[in-house]
Structure 1
Amino acid sequence: MGSRFFLSAVSLAAVSVVSAVALVACGGSDGGSATPAEQGTWTTGDLHVHTVQSDDSRTTQTLDFVLGKAFTTHGLDWMAVTNHLRSSKYDNNGNLLTAPVAFAYGMESYEAPRIKALQAAGSYTGKLIFSGFEWDAPAHDHIGIGIFDGGATLTSSASAFKEFQYAFTTGAESLFTADDVTRFKAQYPQRFNTTAADTLKGISWLKERYPDTSYALINHPSRNPGKYTIADFRQMNDLAPKIVFAIEGMVGNQMEPDRGGYTSAYIDANLPNRTYGGTDAVVAQLGGVWDALLGEGRRIWNVANSDSHFEIDAAGNSSGYYPGEYAKNFVWMPKGSTGVAGLLDSLRSGRSFGVFGDLISALDFTAGSGSDTAHMGQELSTAAGRTVTLTIRFKSPPVNNYQRPVNSGNLGNMVPKVHHLDLIVGDVGAKAAPGTEAYNVATNASTRVLKRFTSADWKQGADGYYTVTTTVTAGKNQYFRLRGTNLAEDVAGQTAGGEPLPDQKITTTDNATRHDQINDRNYGSLWFYSNPIFVTVK
């Protein structure tokens, strides 16, 4: 299968003692006595990170710099380096190459060997680091791709990257070696880089060749108008549910004046193309696209990423936070889960949640009926009329990464605090069939906030966890999910009746002032979203 690289010296089984202790604390129903701990741990990571090898990054965003920010500064457990599947003009250190090369060669020659060398020398022990890429999906927007070779130990596949880049991008043949061009032309007399059907061909390619060892994450789906319809999401998920299983709803590029880099005109027609509390409308809109997908029982999860390119450059432009600084994915890794294979299984399972600004640092959300319990991403099957107990336990850290001035290293000593959290419910019905009217329906009219909880409703235990429980009677197939925020229900320009409002652009011309205003906007509007629990009535 061509060149292969060992990108992780140590598996995710070896994580901190702090995380292991936290698992025990998650067991109690009131923060007091703990039930037996599950075997596993929570991990944090980022699936969308760029370095200097991306053409819209900066030469200061070297691989070593980014890894230091992700793991040394912000303590992530795993990270995908996902440069654009375009051309590499620089090496890892920002040195200009003699001539640009297809990114797949840049990954092979610079990125992967450097990661391997750092870990072999003892840097980032216990951290999982691997290479992916961000694909300019034909007729759509960006899709984050991971492709892996191997058996028990999966490694990013340079040979697959090269072939995929030739077949499914517009990259000039001069970016590839002559031998590869000859071979690829024989395989692909026609390149697939123009239409939405070509995007589906790319996903089919992953399914045919890497059915168990690839993923395709739909990045910042609503950033540009007209790039995706809900029928596109359904079609991709129908085609390859084990590969297309997540949407980057909690988008990166949060330091952009237009939050998330969602720069389309601020007109009513583009309201679906805004962020709402930093979250893409696909996920943020109650009863919208995500709820429509969940209402068919689709296992499509929300992901939070940094999309880090650079934070603030020499010209005064700002882009996004560093990996782990502002956005985090929390993903449960059962005992025995190791390396890329274990992480892929855990990501597919949906037992995860996304957070901005460390609003919470732990979340245990379960549904129980009798002796049966389901966690996020799982399904609880119970008889009609049975009582289902929903238990929510969460914890916030004593301080987050807010800085004043931004990017100064001076922590602002901000204490993240959940103002309220919403328990959201929606009905689950039949999956829409291709070619039917239902396949284009982008709403779920049954979705609603079942209950809103505030500090008056939850109790804090000795372990620091806040706990709240409620019960429902199982009557029909439904899903339950959570969102929480530090904002009150009605904050001018930010929330109305608890619903997030579209984020507005920061237009101050002075660079330093604008940066601080953007940062204040972001940390003043923090959110978390859980993945759902499905309750099925027998």
Structure 2
Amino acid sequence: MPHLLQHQKPFFAHSLRLLPALILGAALAACGNSEDSPTTEVGQWTVGDLHSHTVQSDDADVSQTLDRVLSKAFSSYGLDWLAVSNHLRSSSRDNDGNTLKTAIPFAQGMEQYEIPRIQALQAAGTYADKNIFSLSEWDMPTHDHINVGIFKTGADGKTLVADTDGFKAFQYFFSTLAESSFDSASVAAWKTKFGSTRYNSTAADALQGIAWLKTNYPTTSFMQLNHPSRKPVYTISDLRSFNDLAPDLLFTIEGMPGNQMEPNRGGYDKPYTDAYLPNRTYGGADYFVAKLGGVWDALLGEGRHIWTTANSDSHFKTTTQYSSGYFPGEYAKNYVWSKSKDVKGLLEGLRSGKMFAVFGDLINALDFSAASGSGKKEMGGDLSVASGAPVTLTIRFKSPAKNNYEKPINSGNFVGVPVVDHIDLIAGDVTGKASPGSSAYSVATNPTTRVIKRFTRADWKADANGYYTVSYTTTASKSQYFRLRGTNLGTDVNGQTSGGEPQPDQLITTADNSQRFNDINDRNYASLWFYSNPIFVTVK
């Protein structure tokens, strides 16, 4: 295999970027903004989950069959799309939880069980209007988990489908699974095509994996950094190097991780000491995103298009003794603006950054825009203005009448009424990218980041369609980004917020299993948040 970091094929960085066509009166899907939205861009809001598991992941419960996960995601919780992202390890069960005689590489299990079952269901008319696709969660050498999507053009010549041959080759070269686990004829073909070296142990090997995807699937692959602070294994230099190498492949971080039903919220189980405060969740959000002026803000301050998502990481909800994560769509949701409801449209929407992430259905619609003169941009966009020009930031949002808060848990007795207490408008300066090897490349803070306006319920009033609107006008004197976060909590709630900043989540230690599940569920629904992706305003 040639050294991929030195020999790259041309990478068409903008080939899947969303190219919005503006027309008047574009209809919006009911799962986000409704027809009365001021947005005029062609497309619709779609809602889904990028990170869920089935029984084909060996650490999922045997009850987590593919059919059950799909039923929960679509029939129970109303998602439009779902990524099934099982571990790129060995798999010892089929879709229904039956134990295989011999464990197989998951990429083979994807091809043999997962994809055929999805295709059969949709061909029979079940979930035929839903976008269901396969990803896999890679154990990135020396780091943690990264979602990987590898796609190819389908038989119709238009849509994208999972490329199982690509997944199998990727698993061979970049996982530690023994060579004997793979088909020998396939291994021989891969060695002929790519070389004999496997890259599965060092930090340099991690970069080789990204480079392999960029070389072989430059416009039809993507990656997401999952639960990034769960372990102290990433530096901001790592994140910068990943994004520098493949900015159109690695552009999302799971800033609102799954596994929220764990006693350690999000499964962030490092010791509860000050040394591990960066490895905790804050209002359920990862430290990278929750920390004002922290890692995410440092990256945005370079103008990097890196977006945040919210996912379930569903392995199972509760068993007799243990709890892990909510089902897809039950607690975490991503709202993504998409030109079409297939994989290609979703990838374009994800790359565009026009999306927001939410826990507990705190909101189910958000228009966030920056306008100056005749120019206007929304989340993920870059508005170019003259120095001294006025810029008006407008927030328009909506909350549903209820959410999925059950009391007691799993009872079907829904008691949750999501209400936004306040929304923070956050700004940070954009000063340009740090150079690899420079001291700035390892700086993980953005000291310019601050809350420039806190809107409370006293600042907004519902219109006839249930939307709330507020705005803020500033003068453009330097290049900045603007983003939002909102919560149902007050600004100073003991153990949860201080001066509006989320505090580290506490461990639930209740001994009785049933009561512990309820205590965890109560904790989670008492602390709901949403995060928007940023708008960049560039001063000419």
Shorter-normalised TM-score: what interval? Answer: over 0.9
Q: How far 1:21 sits from its partner (Å)? A: 9.2
Matched residue of 1:53: which SS?
A: coil
Aligned partner (choices 198, 205, 224) of residue 198 of structure 1: 205
Question: CA contact under 8 A between 2:33 and 2:366: conserved in structure 1?
Answer: no
| 2:316 paired residue number | 310
Residues in 2 aligned to 1:16 and 1:81: alpha-carbon distance in whole angstroms: 29
Residues in 1 aligned to 2:57 and 2:410: alpha-carbon distance in whole angstroms: 22
Aligned partner (choices 314, 325, 328) of residue 323 of structure 1: 328
Aligned partner (choices 429, 442, 445) of residue 443 of structure 1: 445
Q: How far 1:17 sits from its partner (Å)? A: 7.9
Residues in 1 aligned to 2:84 and 2:181: alpha-carbon distance in whole angstroms: 21
Alignment map for 1:77-226 (pairs within 5 Å): 77-150=80-153, 151-186=157-192, 187-225=194-232
Question: CA contact under 8 A between 2:496 and 2:503: conserved in structure 1?
Answer: yes
Q: How far 1:38 sits from its partner (Å)? A: 3.6
Is the aligned partner of 1:383 residue 2:390? Answer: no
| 1:295 paired residue number | 301
Which amino acid in 2 is paired with 1:393?
A: R
| 1:246 paired residue number | 252
Residues in 2 aligned to 1:228 and 1:243: alpha-carbon distance in whole angstroms: 18
Question: CA contact under 8 A between 2:29 and 2:45: conserved in structure 1?
Answer: no
| 1:332 paired residue number | 337
Q: CA offsets, 1:356-413, max 9 Å, x none?
A: 000001000000011111000001111111111110000000000001111222212x
Over aligned residues, Cα RMSD in angstroms? 1.4
Residues in 2 aligned to 1:468 and 1:163: alpha-carbon distance in whole angstroms: 51
Residues in 2 aligned to 1:175 and 1:64: alpha-carbon distance in whole angstroms: 27
| Count of residue correspondences | 511
Question: CA contact under 8 A between 2:27 and 2:44: conserved in structure 1?
Answer: no
Which amino acid in 2 is paired with 1:215?
A: F
Residues in 2 aligned to 1:23 and 1:191: alpha-carbon distance in whole angstroms: 50
Matched residue of 1:39: which SS?
A: coil
Residues in 2 aligned to 1:18 and 1:231: alpha-carbon distance in whole angstroms: 39
Which amino acid in 2 is paired with 1:425?
A: A
Residues in 1 aligned to 2:79 and 2:446: alpha-carbon distance in whole angstroms: 35
| 1:487 paired residue number | 489
Question: CA contact under 8 A between 1:167 and 1:188: conserved in structure 2?
Answer: no
Q: How far 1:252 sits from its partner (Å)? A: 0.1
Residues in 2 aligned to 1:311 and 1:174: alpha-carbon distance in whole angstroms: 35
Is the aligned partner of 1:230 residue 2:236? Answer: yes
Q: CA offsets, 1:291-326, max 9 Å, x none?
A: 000000000000110000000123x10000000000
Q: Which moved more, 1:39-48 or 1:259-268?
A: 39-48
Q: CA offsets, 1:64-93, max 9 Å, x none?
A: 000000011101001110000001111100
Question: CA contact under 8 A between 2:159 and 2:342: conserved in structure 1?
Answer: yes
Residues in 1 aligned to 2:490 and 2:37: alpha-carbon distance in whole angstroms: 27
Question: CA contact under 8 A between 1:51 and 1:309: conserved in structure 2?
Answer: yes
Gaps of at least 5 residues in structure 1 are: 1-14, 28-35
Gaps of at least 5 residues in structure 2 are: 1-25
Q: TM-score scaled by structure 2?
A: 0.93
Q: How far 1:224 sits from its partner (Å)? A: 1.0
Aligned partner (choices 350, 360, 363) of residue 363 of structure 2: 360
Structure 1's 304 and 20: CA in aligned 2 closer, same or farther, altered over 3 A?
closer
Q: How far 1:473 sits from its partner (Å)? A: 0.4
Residues in 1 aligned to 2:33 and 2:133: alpha-carbon distance in whole angstroms: 27
Which amino acid in 1 is paired with 2:223?
A: A
Q: CA offsets, 1:146-198, max 9 Å, x none?
A: 00011521110110011000000001123212222333344442211101110
Question: CA contact under 8 A between 1:23 and 1:41: conserved in structure 2?
Answer: no
Which amino acid in 1 is paired with 2:264?
A: D
Is the aligned partner of 1:406 residue 2:412? Answer: no
Residues in 2 aligned to 1:237 and 1:185: alpha-carbon distance in whole angstroms: 28
Aligned partner (choices 36, 45, 48) of residue 45 of structure 1: 48
Aligned partner (choices 475, 478, 481) of residue 476 of structure 1: 478
Residues in 2 aligned to 1:264 and 1:185: alpha-carbon distance in whole angstroms: 40
Which amino acid in 2 is paired with 1:306?
A: S
Which amino acid in 2 is paired with 1:220?
A: H
Residues in 1 aligned to 2:122 and 2:432: alpha-carbon distance in whole angstroms: 48
Residues in 2 aligned to 1:192 and 1:531: alpha-carbon distance in whole angstroms: 34
Residues in 2 aligned to 1:48 and 1:174: alpha-carbon distance in whole angstroms: 29
Question: CA contact under 8 A between 1:481 and 1:533: conserved in structure 2?
Answer: yes
Q: Percent of counterpart pairs with the same letter?
A: 63
Matched residue of 2:524: which SS?
A: helix
Which amino acid in 2 is paired with 1:131?
A: S
Q: How far 1:430 sits from its partner (Å)? A: 1.6
Which amino acid in 2 is paired with 1:529?
A: Y
Structure 1's 457 and 436: CA in aligned 2 closer, same or farther, altered over 3 A?
same
Q: How far 1:270 sits from its partner (Å)? A: 0.4
Matched residue of 1:459: which SS?
A: coil
Matched residue of 2:356: which SS?
A: strand
Residues in 1 aligned to 2:41 and 2:466: alpha-carbon distance in whole angstroms: 19
Question: CA contact under 8 A between 1:23 and 1:38: conserved in structure 2?
Answer: no
Matched residue of 2:333: which SS?
A: strand
Structure 1's 18 and 203: CA in aligned 2 closer, same or farther, altered over 3 A?
closer
Is the aligned partner of 1:370 residue 2:376? Answer: no
Question: CA contact under 8 A between 1:308 and 1:323: conserved in structure 2?
Answer: yes
Would you identify which runs of 4 or more consecutive aligned residues in structure 1 move more than 4 Å? 15-18
